[in-house]
Structure 1
Amino acid sequence: MLRIAIAAAVLTCAAPALAQNMTAAQREACKGDYDKYCKGTMPGGGRIIGCLEKQRASLAEACRKVLDAQKK
């Protein structure tokens, strides 16, 4: 039960940290890539988006589309 509570708290905190200007669907598209490549990145100042951009070639297609849309 404690593990579930901790996991829920981490996911709740990670979603806003991923990118505060993204919709829930956009965050979901990049969550796996965030967890895989950028989990230790300190939020703020565009660092998470920058981290994802550095890993662009390895990202899921859905996440790349989200990043492209963010640039517009």
Structure 2
Amino acid sequence: MIRTVTFALAFGALAFSFTAANAQDFTAGQRAACKGDYDQFCKGTMPGGGRVLACLAKNTDKLSAACKKVVADAKK
């Protein structure tokens, strides 16, 4: 239960990071596209200030195709 709440908060922050970077709202599907990548590469990253997006972008070559698209779109 705590893990689920923590995950939900982290992805809420991820959405805010993306929104700040791109001034658009991301869908639940877009956030879900990066769930596994976030867990694998950025789990210890403190949300906020674009840190999660930066972490995902730093690991672009390792991301799933769906998450790569979300990150690329957020950087536009």
| Rounded Cα–Cα distance in structure 2 between residues aligned with 1:41 and 1:23 | 21
Structure 1 ranges of 4+ moved more than 4 A? none
Alignment deviations for residues 1-37 of structure 1 (CA, whole Å, 9 cap, x no partner): xxxx223322322220222232211100001100110
TM-score by length of 1: 0.81
Q: Of 7, 11, 28, which aligns to 1:11? A: 7
Structure 1 residue 41, shift from structure 2 partner: 0.7
TM-score by length of 2: 0.78
Number of residues of Structure 1 aligned to a counterpart in Structure 2: 68
Structure possessing the higher radius of gyration over alpha carbons: 1
| Unaligned segments of structure 1, at least 5 residues | none
Higher relative contact order by CA 8 Å / sep ≥ 6: 1 or 2? 2
Structure 1 residue 54, shift from structure 2 partner: 0.5
Show the 5 A alignment for 1:28-39: 28-39=32-43
Q: Of 48, 57, 63, which aligns to 2:61? A: 57
Secondary structure of the corresponding residue to residue 19 of structure 1:
helix
Answer with 18-27 or 55-64: which moved more.
18-27
Alignment deviations for residues 19-63 of structure 1 (CA, whole Å, 9 cap, x no partner): 223221110000110011001111111111000011000000000
Percent pairwise identity: 53
Tell me, yes or no, if the aligned pair for 2:37 and 2:56 is still in contact at 8 Å. yes
